[in-house]
Amino acid sequence: MSQAGTVSVAEKLERIRGRIRVAGRRAGRSDEVTVVAATKLVPAERITEAYRAGLRHFGENRVQELEAKRRQLSLPEATWHLIGHLQTNKAQRAAALFNRVDSLDSLRLAEKLAAAAAGLGRRLPVLVEVHLGEEPGKHGVEPDALVELAEKVAALEALALEGLMALPPYLEPPERVRPYFRRLRELAEALAHCGLPGVEMRELSMGMSHDFEIAIEEGATQVRLGTALFGPRPAKK
């Protein structure tokens, strides 16, 4: 199946699933972990290859990029996650294009998405992205503003708040990321204990290629993998 000298997505996926099982077992977990293939800058043919290998969840960062790719793709059972920052003026297009928004980071965006989803007669599942760490310029709601945002998002009928997402800093070795993953899980637990109507905390989207095993040990239900599945992305200019 693989081209000379390269490992196919199917082979990589099989190895990743093995590592996911081992990490889950280490943490005494028996539930499923969803692999969300992070496909930014990955061409349509390779996305199709991933679909043929059995992947059904795909994450894209930008509305325009997925609009272009979807014209070349026919993946009837795919679930598309928006995992990048969304400007409010693209909420309408995003609600039509994506099955889920995992990077909800403001009330204003939530309101725009809810209006768009209502107009489409849909209920859109969302995760709130939390900003963990001190890095400036990153997106996500600050932890101390999370409960207030969650309460307001939950009141929007056209959105279904299902959990939290985070993009912690890149640290080596990956063990150093553990406290961030733990923090996100604790925030989700605290939020669940608030008992806000309409707030379900069943998804934790955390962990990327270099740290997904740690994230799984800390309770991730979804890991977002790009490099581990598709190899290095072309360098940004």
Ligand X SMILES: *Cc1c(COP(=O)(O)O)cnc(C)c1O
Q: For the CB of residue 130, give the shortest distance to ligand X in the complex, in Å.
A: 13
Q: Give the binding-site size for ligand X (rule: CB under 6 A).
A: 13
Among 33, 167, 215, 220, binds ligand X (CB under 6 A): 167
Shortest distance, CB of residue 201 to ligand X, whole angstroms? 20
Say if residues 153 and 191 touch (Cβ distance below 8 Å): no
Cα–Cα distance for residue pair 52/47, rounded to 1 Å? 9
Residue from 21, 40, 152, 176 that binds ligand X (CB under 6 A)?
Answer: 40
- If the CB atoms of residues 185 and 224 are measured against ligand X, the closer one turns out to be 224
Q: Which of residues 114-153 bind ligand X (CB under 6 A)?
A: none
Q: Least CB distance from residue 196 to ligand X, whole Å?
A: 26
Please report how close the Cβ of residue 146 comes to ligand X at its closest, in angstroms. 18
If you ran DSSP here, which 8-state letter would residue 141 be given?
B
- What DSSP string describes 1-44? -PPTT---HHHHHHHHHHHHHHHHHHTT--S--EEEEE-TT--H
Q: List binders of ligand X among 193-222 (CB under 6 A).
A: 208-209
For residue 225, state whether it binds ligand X (rule: CB under 6 A): yes
Q: Which of 140, 174, 219, 226 binds ligand X (CB under 6 A)?
A: 226
Structure-token pair, residue 120: 């489409």
Distance CA 115, CA 87 (A): 15
- Is residue 38 within the footprint of ligand X (CB under 6 A)? yes
Asked if 61 interacts with ligand X (CB under 6 A), we say yes
Residue number with CB closer to ligand X (40 or 123): 40
Per DSSP bridges, beta strands 222-225 and 57-60 are unpaired
Closest CA to 55 of 95, 16, 21, 82: 16
User: Would you state the structure tokens that stand for residue 14, as one six-digit string?
Assistant: 């099989």
Name residue, tokens 């310029």: 137
Residues interacting with ligand X, by CB under 6 A? 38, 40, 61, 83-84, 167, 208-209, 224-228
